[in-house]
Chains A and B, each alone.
Chain A
Amino acid sequence: MEGARRNGDNMNESITNKIESIKMDIAPFSKADFYEAFGDCVLIAGREEIIPILSILKRRGYFDFLMDICGVDYPAREKRFDVVYHLFSSKDNTRLRIKVPLAEGDEIETAIHLWKGADWFEREAYDMFGIIFRGHPNLRRLLTHHQFRGHPLRKDYDADLQQHSTEVLPIRFDNTNDEDGAVLNSKYVPINIGPSHPAMHGTLRVMAELDGETIVRAGVDIGYLHRCFEKMAETHPYNQVIPYTDRLNYCSAPMNNVGYCKAVERLLGVEVPPRAQAMRVVLCELSRIIDHIIAVGTGGVDLGALTSFFHLFTYREQVYTLFERLCGARLTVSLTRVGGMAQDAPAGWFKEVLAFCKRMTAEINEIDKLMIGNKIFRQRTEGVCPVSKEEAIEWGYTGPLLRASGVGLDLRKAQPYYGYDQLDFDIPIGANGDIFDRYLVRIEEMRQSIRIIEQVAKNVPEGDYTIRDKHIVLPEKSDVYGNIEGLMNHFMLIMKGIRPPVGEVYDATEAANGELGFYLISDGSANPYRLKVRPPCFAIYQSFPSIVKGSLIADAIATVASMNVIAGELDR
């Protein structure tokens, strides 16, 4: 895998200096090997030295975010698994990937004591690959059901081998140092909410022990929408994965399309033309608006305010109409292709987008009055279940929730792509990290998205909407049916597929809920070898049991709503 090392992609000087200094710091106990792949900085470490290394990287301030932990399976290798850590620094926006090779049966120490956010990522790696994290207090299955046998993301597990579940997992909580999660305390009332419950947005399941109305202990059970995205990605060619990405965060499908294609394009070493970039920006920002519409609208419903939902849905429908004009689909649009867009925008489309922006601006002001100006809404949200800056980073929060807690991190500014650095917009930041601030941030972000769309849609560059590399993009239909060249190219690409070079990238975009990362490994074949999604609300939702502890049950409902957990990307 490490055969294709390329230099000077876009690794800048700050990371080079940083690595020198990290090397000196870890030299006493580790001779770990740094290298660069496709512009990402990678470190290979042994399983005994990983925790000391992570500890130095965190404590000495090199990296403050643990973005992702995942497993990769190489059945032919002597050390079969890789455990891969992705770190990010919000100070200088650098990233580091650490890979730890493990043989089957090897244990690796948990990182949960360094970053609380490691919790679910490690459980997922255990569930999917059977990697044992020593010292993890709750190394149980997370996404698959509790009667499931085997580890599905191992290469020797068949993609369509279903195992039926015959019962629902009884109420249980996470183990702590002094409490066994499976034992309920008879002093308190156990309550189960979901997975089919009006306040549980889709398929979330919350369990709690109540003392009166106060939550003594809370727990969550996820995986009720685990649709095996990552396994499906391994069994489909690159372009056929795009429809599956639609269904990650289905409230803002185009953003997932863009995030995925951007990762593949980086692996291929191509850049999409300016017109495609502009279209992608417009689509992303429209998606951000409609995603926030769902978050704000249904958040209001959970607090008893139905009006805002009906009000806002009118405008969501208008965006659907714009999508429909563009491609014929409303919700799951699959608009991008590797190398550009599926097709050009029809004449006058950008004008319609601008007209929508005008209407939406007025609507946002209305909603602002309707929600923010509402006394009940304020009383239900202000000062409720706040999350501090430090805690948010600890858990791996990104996106509006992190910004509501007062950290001004937005990848559109921090690691600009598609010309976001040329655009004039602001990043709203909250002060208290409570539920109220989350809605304030979201409403303001809608305004900023409109600003972005207006700037881009007024000056859309002319030119092609896709690159024309015959190894990546299918020829136009007129060529396929019109000349032998086109027919041959079409045939070759369909039969052979897009084949990126052997290698791996981690590419992240700022989605509506935060950092949406795709860790893509290619073995040179037509399907991705491994595609790990780093879904923003996965990291956020794992903090739920601890942040609602001690608050009222009604506040817990408000908290779930404000997190805007989308089961599609949470469970994948």
Chain B
Amino acid sequence: MPEAQSGTLVQNQSQNPTNRVLGDQSAEDLSRSFALTTRLEDLVAWGRKNALWPLPYGTACCGIELMSVMGPRYDLARFGAEVVRFSPRQADLLLVAGTITEKMAPVLVRIYQQMLEPKYVLAMGACASSGGFYRAYHVLQGCDKVIPVDVYVPGCPPTPEAVLDGIMTLQRMIGTHQPRPWRDQWKAPAGMVTT
């Protein structure tokens, strides 16, 4: 049963005028026993947040910890996100797990552009969020320099619990239709040749 916030379970409302419009007897009977009213967008958001298909963009140590998140003990499947897709066209959650170097940046932008809407980005760990302790000549100082990030998970690497918390945060954001100005205003970095 959907638990979308604005959805309300309505039971046996014979006064509901819509019932009389329905000509079919069986449909009318069903609606007398119970009915669900919700907004379409809430229903869709409910579906979206509970069936995220992640693309594990594991580049470094965080990628190994991400294996643990997927693995038997922490089991991301419990949150409906176990269908790991390596093709960006089949994924809606980009899990950036690990350091993004300057050399990798154009690849990351290209992968992001290839994903279909709606799409979300989770930066796992200090490097993906800010460059971490690599204040260095070949390390991008956070993947949000080139793509819009929805959730940052701190840690080096974050514990699997922290990653699960990040994914649940994202689920809440999707469920409540959190506005995402960073996403709406995003443009590919100037000069980036990505196609």
Contacts and interface: CB of A to CB of B under 8 A. Distances in A.
A247 interface: yes
B168 interface: no
Interface in A217-247: 223-228, 231-232, 243-244, 246-247
Contact of B73 (A143, A228, A314): A314
B103 to A, nearest CB: 4
Nearest to A244: B133
A67 interface: no
Nearest to B108: A196
B31 interface: no
A202 B135 contact: no
A226 B59 CA distance: 11
A166 interface: yes
Contacts of B102: 144-145, 148, 162-165
B27 interface: no
B68 A313 contact: yes
Interface in B85-123: 86, 98-99, 101-108, 110-111
Interface in A107-166: 143-145, 148, 152, 157-166
Contacts of A162: 102, 136-141
B60 A226 contact: no
Contacts of B59: 202-203, 224-225, 567
Nearest to B127: A227
B89 to A, nearest CB: 13
Given A223-B103, A313-B72, A567-B60, A330 B137 contact: no
A353 interface: no
Taking each of B98, B133, B138, B193, which has the highest tally of chain A beta carbons within 10 Å of its own beta carbon?
B138
Given A247-B61, A332-B157, A224 B137 contact: no
Interface string A423-451: 00000000000000000000000000000
Contacts of A331: 61, 64-65, 157
A165 B103 contact: yes
A261 B76 CA distance: 37
B137 A197 contact: no
Nearest to B61: A250
A168 B110 contact: yes
A13 interface: no
B101 A225 contact: yes
Interface string B155-187: 011010000000000000000000000000000
Given A166-B106, A198-B86, A161 B61 contact: no
Contacts of A168: 106-107, 110, 193
A199 to B, nearest CB: 9
Contacts of B193: 166-168
B79 interface: no
* Interface of chain A, main secondary structure: loop
B135 A160 contact: yes
Given A168-B106, A243-B133, A227 B64 contact: no
B34 interface: no
Contacts of B192: 166-167
A351 B189 CA distance: 55
Interface string A14-51: 00000000000000000000000000000000000000
Given A313-B67, A330-B65, A332-B156, A225 B104 contact: yes
A250 B125 CA distance: 14
B156 A568 contact: no
A74 interface: no
Contact of A227 (B57, B63, B107, B134): B134
A332 B133 CA distance: 13
B138 A152 contact: yes
A330 B159 contact: yes
A225 B137 contact: no
Contacts of B58: 202
B61 A227 contact: no
B71 interface: yes
A151 B111 CA distance: 29
Contacts of A232: 133-134, 136
Given A166-B106, A166-B191, A166-B192, A314 B72 contact: yes
A196 B57 contact: yes
B58 to A, nearest CB: 6
A196 B107 contact: yes
Contacts of B107: 168, 195-196, 224
A195 B59 CA distance: 9
Contacts of B106: 165-168
A396 B133 CA distance: 32
Contact of A294 (B64, B138, B156): B64
Interface of A: 143-145, 148, 152, 157-168, 195-198, 202-203, 223-228, 231-232, 243-244, 246-247, 250-251, 294, 310, 313-314, 316-317, 320, 330-332, 567-568, 571
List 3 tightest A-B contacts by C-beta distance, closest first. Answer: A228-B136, A250-B61, A145-B103
25 contacts: A144-B138, A145-B103, A145-B138, A152-B138, A157-B137, A159-B135, A160-B135, A160-B137, A162-B136, A164-B189, A165-B102, A167-B106, A168-B110, A198-B86, A202-B59, A223-B138, A225-B60, A227-B139, A228-B137, A310-B72, A313-B67, A314-B72, A314-B73, A317-B68, A331-B157
Given A202-B63, A232-B136, 4 more contacts: A162-B140, A225-B98, A314-B71, A331-B64
